[in-house]
């Protein structure tokens, strides 16, 4: 190996290592590696920021804005609002929601598709009295599968298309992925709907699971003039039992007391630590006269005249709350919002609520000024779990939004317009028609993803130009020497899937796609089947909650554990490989 190759392989090893560690966000890791690569001379200075203007980066950003426009216009709600039927059987519900999720994620970002459908699924589960965990994982997998079908459904397909253009002179078109991706998606959806959901671990009665998932660790305080001052904490136990609230402990002067605090006499500003559902918490508060932890802020909200309401939101990985506290982001003074409780499945909240660092997948109970729920949720970068979170803002422009998007897809499909240009025109039209407010235009773009792509593309190009990808492909060709074509493609898919299960699928694709091209050239065959194999495999991250953003999003609301995913994900990945290899050889022959 050359010095440049050693440096680049070391940089990629560090990137993958830090991504697995998860201590630092993936965009910071990738950008740091890019800067180091430039300083060490393995990435030319003139190419340092070429990735930020790369078509793949632009398309990913534009797709996110277009997806937001389709949601805001009510175009997607037009479909989903007919699906909330609690009387439908679980299997039928999963099949229908999976089909809709798959179709939606083919034409909009699959993370956006799940973000829209997850509240629908949770609400249906609550009305049916079953755990959302029985249907959220199938829904997540369905939206991942659906993204395989078109060019814009998932970032790996966009990256594969642009790498093909750079290497072979022509990109894949909008529906070139449909034959192979469609077959894989249909097979996967069929398995998930008929068999897969039954493999999700059952943890007790469904209704009990649902209640457990909805319980929060919360705090209520003893306000001045409260009738509870001088009362023993244990005296509240009967009222707590009636309201179905668990008294966990007491906080006084910032210190938590456990166990023997039952005999403690309550004082002003004492905080009771409770575990309860939103309804039970509210009932207990009303019966005892206790106040929310931020009593002063609650009074200010009520004084505003419009009243307050409670909303539930799930924290996404890109939320401004991740690894920060409600206090540090200024939740109360910036958004007039009070954090009432945190639901963290399987983990204890060990600090005061306002001073507890929030994690991805946490469910938050928020007290907000009436009718400001969507605004607060958007500012936080969270997803709503309440039914009102499905509200749309411009339903008189449904058909305009659909028409503009359909025209862009058609123009790009027939080669009339370059895809980034077509999507760019849709974004301009959405802004001018106020489907997407100008003030919110950039809030819908996942900037960490943009930075990740912009940083990894130059590193991937440097690895290829230095001969690094040729070296990797040589190892794989040697490993598969003498094996038939289908076995070579299978090995490539297994390696790519394994990486995608533990790493960001964008980073995996940037490395694996050039390797696939090099393998094809070494075997003197067409590179297209190898690129298709990478496209399907990079999107098939079903074994862990960290392999795909959709899997991370459902971790908290579904009440899942890390080891739950492989139970349904492993056979699903086997099925995807089993149906994709023959489809690739038929539609993209060697």
Residue 386 lies in a domain: no
pLDDT value at residue 215: 64
How many residues does this entry show for the chain? 590
| Residue 305, C-beta contacts closer than 8 angstroms, at least 6 positions apart | none
> Where a domain ends, among 264, 289, 314?
289
Look at residues 540, 494, 499, 492 and name the one whose alpha carbon lies nearest to residue 520: 492
Q: Do the Cβ atoms of 505 and 541 come closer than 8 Å?
A: yes
Rounded to whole angstroms, the Cα distance separating 510 from 54 reads 13
Q: Per the domain annotation, does 374 fall within a domain? A: no
pLDDT score for 307: 60
Residues 172 and 232 in one domain: no
Picking from 249, 370, 384, the residue whose alpha carbon sits closest to that of residue 304 is 370
pLDDT at 434: 84
Domain total in the chain: 2
258, 135: one domain = no
Angstrom distance (rounded) from CA 581 to CA 589 = 11
* End position of a domain, from candidates 289, 323, 338: 289
Cβ neighbours of residue 188 under 8 Å, at least 6 residues apart? 141, 142, 145, 572, 575, 576
| 158 plus 87 within the same structural domain | yes
In this structure, the answer to whether residues 57 and 130 fall within a common structural domain is: yes
The DSSP-derived string for 237-272 is HHHHHHHT-EEEEEEETTEEE-GGGGGPBP-TT-EE
Are residues 558 and 459 located together in one domain of the fold?
yes
Instruction: Report the distance separating Cα 426 and Cα 58, nearest Å.
Output: 13
Contacts (Cβ under 8 Å, ≥6 apart) of 1: 9, 471
The reply to whether 424 and 454 lie within a common domain is: yes
Q: How far apart are CA 52 and CA 9, in angstroms?
A: 22
**Could you say which DSSP state residue 202 is in?**
P
Span 404-440, pLDDT tens digits: 988 988 888 788 888 889 889 999 999 998 888 887 7
> Does some domain include residue 509?
yes
Q: Say whether 153 sits in a helix, a strand or coil.
A: coil
Domain that holds residue 238: 223-289
Q: What share of the chain is helix, strand, coil (3-state, %, to 5)?
A: 60, 10, 30
Task: Say if residue 169 is in the same domain as residue 233.
Answer: no
Q: What is the CB neighbour count within 10 angstroms for residue 406? A: 13
212: in domain: no
Do 127 and 55 lie in one domain? The reply is yes
Domain finish residue from 243, 263, 289: 289
Q: Does residue 127 sit within a domain?
A: yes
pLDDT of residue 81: 59
End-to-end CA distance of the chain: 30
Assigned domain for 305 exists: no
Q: Centre a 10 Å sphere on the Cβ of residue 224 and count the other Cβ atoms it contains.
A: 9
Q: Which residue in the block uniquely carries the two structure tokens 């409780």? A: 341
Helix (H, G, I), strand (E, B) or coil at 424: helix
Asked if residue 217 lies in contact with residue 353, where contact means CB atoms within 8 angstroms, the answer is yes
User: Does 300 reside within a domain?
Assistant: no
In terms of domains, do 191 and 235 share one? no
pLDDT digits (tens, 9 = 90+) for 177-215: 999 999 999 999 999 989 988 888 765 443 344 344 456
Co-location of 58 and 192 in the same domain: yes
CA distance 39 to 29: 16
Q: Give the DSSP H or E segment for 161.
A: helix 155-168
3-state secondary structure of 501: helix
On whether the CB atoms of residues 65 and 427 are closer than 8 A, the answer is yes
Same domain, 177 and 229: no
Q: Are residues 231 and 137 in the same domain?
A: no
pLDDT of residue 529: 95
Residue 110 domain-assigned? Answer: yes
pLDDT in tens, the chain (590 residues): 789 989 988 998 898 788 777 678 778 988 999 999 999 999 999 989 988 988 878 877 888 788 778 777 777 666 665 666 667 788 888 998 899 889 988 888 777 788 778 777 877 787 777 888 888 899 999 999 999 999 888 888 988 998 898 888 888 988 999 999 999 999 999 999 899 888 887 654 433 443 444 567 778 888 888 888 988 888 888 888 877 788 877 888 777 665 446 778 888 888 888 877 776 777 788 788 888 766 555 555 444 445 667 788 888 877 889 888 888 888 877 888 888 888 876 555 655 677 788 988 888 888 888 778 888 888 898 887 744 333 333 456 788 988 998 898 888 878 888 888 988 999 999 999 888 888 778 877 878 878 887 888 888 888 878 888 788 878 888 888 888 888 889 999 999 998 888 666 787 888 889 889 988 888 888 999 999 999 999 999 898 776 777 887 787 778 787 778 889 999 999 999 999 999 999 999 98
The answer to whether 55 touches 424, Cβ cutoff 8 Å, is: no
CATH number of the structural domain spanning residue 282: 3.30.70.1450
- Of the candidates 294, 315, 281, 301, the one whose C-alpha atom is nearest the C-alpha of residue 370 is 301
Q: How far is CA 122 from the centre of its chain?
A: 16
């Amino acid at each position: 190996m050359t010095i440049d190759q050693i440096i680049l392989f070391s940089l990629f090893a560090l990137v993958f290592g830090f991504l697995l560690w998860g201590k630092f966000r993936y965009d910071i890791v990738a950008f740091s590696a890019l800067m180091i690569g430039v300083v060490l001379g393995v990435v030319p200075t003139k190419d340092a920021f070429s990735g930020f203007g790369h078509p793949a980066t632009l398309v990913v950003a534009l797709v996110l804005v277009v997806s937001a426009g389709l949601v805001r216009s009510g175009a997607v709600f037009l479909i989903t609002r007919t699906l909330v039927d609690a009387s439908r059987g679980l299997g039928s519900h999963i099949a229908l929601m999976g089909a809709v999720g798959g179709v939606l994620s083919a034409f909009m970002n699959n993370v956006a598709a799940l973000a829209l459908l997850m509240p629908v699924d949770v609400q249906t589960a609550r009305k049916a009295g079953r755990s959302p965990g029985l249907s959220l994982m199938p829904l997540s997998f369905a939206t991942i599968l659906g993204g395989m079908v078109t060019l814009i459904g998932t970032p790996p397909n966009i990256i594969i298309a642009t790498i093909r253009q750079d290497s072979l002179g022509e990109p894949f078109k909008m529906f070139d992925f449909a034959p192979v991706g469609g077959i894989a998606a249909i097979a996967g959806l069929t398995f998930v709907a008929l068999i897969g959901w039954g493999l999700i671990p059952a943890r007790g009665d469904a209704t009990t699971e649902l209640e457990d998932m909805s319980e929060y660790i919360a705090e209520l305080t003893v306000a001045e003039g409260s009738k509870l001052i001088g009362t023993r904490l244990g005296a509240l136990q009967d009222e707590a039992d009636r309201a179905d609230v668990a008294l966990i402990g007491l906080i006084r002067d910032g210190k938590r007391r456990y166990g023997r605090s039952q005999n403690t006499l309550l004082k002003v500003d004492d905080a009771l630590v409770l575990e309860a559902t939103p309804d039970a918490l509210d009932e207990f508060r009303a019966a005892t006269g206790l106040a929310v932890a931020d009593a002063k802020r609650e009074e200010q909200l009520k004084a505003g005249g419009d009243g307050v309401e409670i909303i539930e939101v799930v924290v996404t990985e890109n939320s401004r709350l991740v690894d920060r506290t409600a206090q540090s982001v200024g939740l109360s003074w910036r958004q007039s919002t009070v954090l009432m409780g945190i639901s963290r499945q399987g983990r204890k909240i060990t600090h005061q609520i306002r001073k507890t660092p929030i994690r991805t997948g946490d469910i938050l109970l928020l007290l907000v000024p009436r009718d400001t729920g969507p605004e607060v949720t958007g500012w936080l970068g969270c997803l709503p779990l309440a039914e009102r979170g499905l509200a749309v803002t411009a339903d008189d422009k449904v058909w305009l939004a659909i028409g503009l998007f359909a025209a862009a897809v058609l123009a790009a499909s027939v080669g009339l317009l370059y895809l980034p240009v077509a999507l760019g025109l849709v974004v301009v039209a959405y802004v001018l028609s106020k489907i997407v407010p100008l003030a919110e235009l950039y809030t819908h773009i996942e900037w960490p993803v943009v930075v990740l792509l912009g940083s990894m593309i130059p590193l991937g190009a440097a690895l290829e130009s230095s001969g690094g990808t040729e070296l990797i492909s040589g190892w794989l060709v040697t490993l598969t020497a003498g094996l038939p074509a289908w076995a070579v493609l299978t090995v490539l898919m297994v390696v790519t899937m394994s990486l995608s299960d533990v790493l960001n699928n964008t980073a995996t694709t940037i490395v694996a796609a050039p390797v696939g091209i090099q393998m094809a050239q070494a075997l003197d065959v067409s590179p297209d089947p190898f690129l298709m194999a990478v496209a399907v495999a990079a999107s098939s991250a079903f074994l862990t909650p960290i392999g795909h953003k959709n899997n991370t999003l459902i971790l908290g609301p579904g009440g899942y554990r890390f080891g739950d995913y492989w139970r349904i994900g492993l056979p699903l990945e086997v099925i995807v490989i089993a149906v994709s290899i023959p489809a690739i050889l038929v539609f993209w022959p060697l």
